[in-house]
Structure 1
Amino acid sequence: MATDSEIPPIPPNFWGDLPEDEYYTSQGVRNTKSYFNTPNGMIFTQSFLPLDLPIKATVFMTHGYGSDTGWLFQKICINFATWGYAVFAADLLGHGRSEGLRCYLGDMEKIAATSLSFFLSVRLSDEYGNLPGFLFGESMGAAATMLMYFQSEPGTWTGLIFSAPLFVIPEPMKPSKLRLFVYGLLFGMADTWASLPDNKMVGKAIKDPEKLKIIASNPRRYTGKPRVGTMREIARVCEYIQSNFSRVTTPFLAAHGTCDGVTAPESSTMLYEKASSEDKTLKLYEGMYHSLIQGEPDENSERVLADMKEWIDERVRRYGSK
């Protein structure tokens, strides 16, 4: 039996021990990291820019629950950058290297507004203000992204991309109404308690077992139980977004696996059916799980990425600059 001293240390990055600059250069991108100060706390941000390509547009990316921008999620960022897009991402409050109680989402409007403040500082800058701008959200990050869209001035965004969005919670994943009611009797004292069942979300999200090992080794991944206020707020926000689907007028792409056990595929189909957008695209991937890009076998994730590239390239051609 191996002793603690014989257990290999977790590498600093998902790709291993190669220095970051060398890795990013090998991928054809330039990466920068910084912190952005907001009234709600400091958030960790990253940019991914193409090394040798003109920039066609900006893309602002938001990760899912318990994750961050610094592990496998950045593979999405890198792919978009290699297509000629300037990509900007931020760890949500309470996630990754941003400030805040770990994975506490008691006020998602505030959490969305915090990331949006960074995104808008770039979107409206002299450097990027005349380029098309897109919001990208994955899983719970898609719900935060939708709130950002609702909080933005009309015409701010050229398009929206949702990967396995959390707009409808599958029945097995819904928090117990009885539990939430009982905790509610404590007048908010239980809001931050990490005491709800997690329903084995990671196992339902990742199909490829080797990629599951990599994702599980993320040193910044939240592994505690969901907090009472987090699940209460996610349930509220899902209902709010569903009742406001008709407010979506911007072009969008919604992508979902039919075997997603974490966010219901109805999230994407309902958005497609009820949104007012004249330009809307729905992609359902038969047999795929929740994590379409980081967690599927390579041939599946490459198919999803190819569809996203085709969609965003066409919108840049179609709509041009602001």
Structure 2
Amino acid sequence: MPPHMTTISHRIAGSGPRVAVVAPPRPRGRAAVVAGAAAKGAHRERTLEGASDDLRAAAAQCLDWAPARRRVRATFAPVLPTLDHCLFKMAPKEIQMEENYETNSKGVEIFWKSWLPREGTATKAALFFCHGYGDTCTFFFEGIAKRIAAAGYAVYAMDYPGFGMSYGLHGYIASFDGMVDHVIEQYARIRGMKEVCELPHFLLGQSMGGAVALKVHLKQQKEWDGVLLVAPMCKISEDVTPPAPVLKALSILSCLLPEAKLFPQKDIGDLALRDPRKRKVAEYNAISYSDQMRLRTAVELLKATKDIESQLEKISSPLLILHGAADMVTDPQVSKFLYEKASTKDKTLKLYEGSYHSILEGEPDDRISTAINDIISWLDSHC
């Protein structure tokens, strides 16, 4: 391990000691003042149907910093297997899991997790996941990862700085390219591990994570055996963005108040998840960012999509794109454009009629299974 990397490992399944994780201290002094200012803005209360008072109190905490998010995740963890969702109720058993915290070369503590095939099962390849903006790698993706791992794949995922259980101000992206560099560094270390280094390596990106995965590929053209995209954020739908004059004003304001939660946006829950019951379950992802978008974050996302849109013809890796045809968050027409422009000859586009944005989490159970099986089938054909 490089000298700048430190690791805290927590075994979830299999042998090995449990190691206590000591959370970093809360910010003090000037940092606390900045944190307080950044917290100003609309705070969205979660509708936690059937939740206990303890869970509601935990979800109502300020989650600006990682220690609070980690405590809240620990509070909600025992409840997740009981939720009425196929990704929890039908998750394969005996998948080997491990959680880790590592401090990278930039001094940021990153949370990452692995899901490995059942003991004794040969591993076909390694899949590296990039999550979406309002998501983490420890909620719905747990069930997705277990299904893919059960098919013989080692699955790895991380929370970006400021998201989930990684350190950083909640929901804040100071630089999209900088965030991508964090992903490249973390996944490079994992890809170098002896149990992974000889395997084929694939990227899986969902929504904003699709933009992250594409950026990683564009920076590492020769290092990935394939890229899989689910409702990729190559362009943000006009349905969820303010008018151009407002965008220009907000861009200027982001230089003065980059961390402020002032970017006007619609609640995309109804737009993202088609099944109303699954929308209710999604509320239990208590450490996902659901407040109004921070100004700098919004500007960085818009810049990233414009940059990706200008480089689509440079995408040379084998490519699978899955998209709901009725998606109102990221435009399926842009996925068609991506499919047409990508220079790779090995490319597949699947559109799911009537499906919304969250095709892996928010659709009827059979559609979710179909989409996950499509991912596994594509991986099988490329190993």
TM-score by length of 1: 0.90
Structure 2 match to 1:66: 134
Which residue, 229, 232, 238 being the options, matches 1:165?
232
Q: In the alignment, is residue 232 of structure 1 matched against residue 299 of structure 2?
A: yes
Counterpart among 219, 225, 231 of residue 151 in structure 1: 219
1:289 paired residue number:
356
Q: CA deviation at 1:7?
A: 4.1
Matches of 2:161 and 2:181, distance apart in 1: 10
**Which ranges of structure 2 fall in alignment gaps of 5 or more residues?**
1-49, 57-75, 84-88
Q: Secondary structure at the residue paired with 1:27?
A: coil
Alignment of 1:30-179 (within 5 A): 30-38=96-104, 39=106, 41-52=108-119, 53-152=121-220, 154-179=221-246
- Quote the offset at 1:150 in angstroms: 1.5
Structure-2 separation of matches of 1:5 and 1:245: 44
Are 2:328 and 2:356, in contact at CA under 8 Å, matched by a contact in 1? Answer: yes
| Cα distance in 2, alignment partners of residues 253 and 214 from structure 1 | 28
Match of 1:28 in 2: 94
Task: Supply the distance in 2 between the matched residues of 1:281 and 1:255 (Cα, whole angstroms).
Answer: 8
* 1:20 counterpart residue number: none
Asked if 1:256 is matched to 2:319, the reply is no
Corresponding residue for residue 205 of structure 1: 272
What SS class does the counterpart of residue 31 from structure 1 fall into? strand
Question: 1:267-297 deviations in whole A, cap 9, x for unaligned?
Answer: 3111110000010000000000000111111
- Secondary structure at the counterpart of residue 14 of structure 1: helix
Aligned-pair CA distance for 1:191? 1.7
Question: 2:92, 2:150 within 8 Å by CA — same for their partners in 1?
Answer: no
Shift of 1:8: 6.9
Q: One-letter code of the match for 2:100?
A: S
Identity %: 31
Counterpart-to-counterpart distance in 2, 1:45 and 1:296: 27
Q: Distance in 2 between matches of 1:282 and 1:220?
A: 32
TM-align CA RMSD = 2.1
The answer for the alignment partner of 1:15 in structure 2 is 81
Change (3 A) 1:9 1:103: closer
CA distance in 1, matches of 2:340, 2:289: 34
Stretches of structure 1 lacking an aligned partner (at least 5 in a row): 18-22, 317-322
Q: Deviations over 1:43-85 (max 9, x none)?
A: 1100000113110000000111121011112222111101100
Normalised TM-score (structure 2)? 0.76
**Alignment CA distance shift 1:187-1:70 (3 Å):** closer
The total of aligned residue pairs comes to 307
Q: Against the structure 1 CA distance between its residues 8 and 84, is the aligned structure 2 distance closer, same or farther, given a 3 Å change threshold? A: same
